[in-house]
Amino acid sequence: MAYDGRKYFPSVHKHVVKILNDTFGYKLVLDEKHDGYVVVNALRQGPLEHRPLANSNQYSKYALLMIIVTCLKRAGGEMASVDFWGILGETFSIRNDESTRLSINQHKIFGDVQKLIKTDFVKDGYLIFDQAKDFTGDTPTQTVKLGFRAQQEFPDETLEKFIEKIDDYGIESDKEEENENNAMDEDN
């Protein structure tokens, strides 16, 4: 007869959760949709610039992830893939090219952006790329959604502080610049 350890799972799980939290400062969060768990840092974290990261490359990728998550949260948690890549294209000159030429997919800051966004961020549970039926036709459209891990690791208050930090730098959108230029043209 095979040994069945299912009856011990609740007590072992409880012990693991306690050790993860007390020893390492992590909490184990159940992802019911995918029938698994996500480990999330439970320690109070400071601003992005005070978090320990291995190198500047990791910092850049984390900053890109924060911007992507912020855009998706502002859009209600998902957006059409076309809009998603449009925002990245306008902001960082990132294109959604499926080219096999390595030089095209290499970004000067983020490296292989296609792999980073479509593979690494998806594999890590931050993003989900879904095919959705277009109700106007038979053409499926792709949507980008926040993954379970992104929803757990980036609470709204953290993203709001991040947005405030960006606003402190005085970055203006293209529309604000157009409005200022139009106002100056009308004055002349």
pLDDT per position as a tens digit, 141-179: 889 999 988 888 888 887 888 777 777 765 554 445 555
Whichever domain contains 156, its CATH number is: 1.10.10.1210
Q: What is the pLDDT of residues 63-113, one digit of tens each?
A: 889 889 988 988 888 898 888 888 888 777 666 655 444 445 677 777 788
- In angstroms, rounded to a whole number, what is the distance separating the alpha carbons of residues 65 and 113? 11
- Residue that is written with structure tokens 């948690």 in the block: 77
Q: Tell me the one-letter amino acid at 130.
A: D
Strands 127-133 and 140-146: antiparallel
| Residue 51 sits in the same domain as residue 104 | yes
122 in any annotated domain: yes
Residue recorded with tokens 């449009």: 86
The total domain count for the chain is 2
Give the pLDDT of residue 186. Answer: 56
Residue 178's CB: how many other CB atoms inside 10 A? 10
- According to the model, what pLDDT value does residue 30 have? 84
Could you give the 3-state DSSP secondary structure of residue 138?
Answer: coil
178 found inside a domain? no
Query: What percentage of the chain reaches a pLDDT higher than 70?
Result: 70
Residue 141's domain comprises 46-173
Whether the model pTM is above 0.85? no
Evaluate whether residue 180 is within a structural domain.
Answer: no
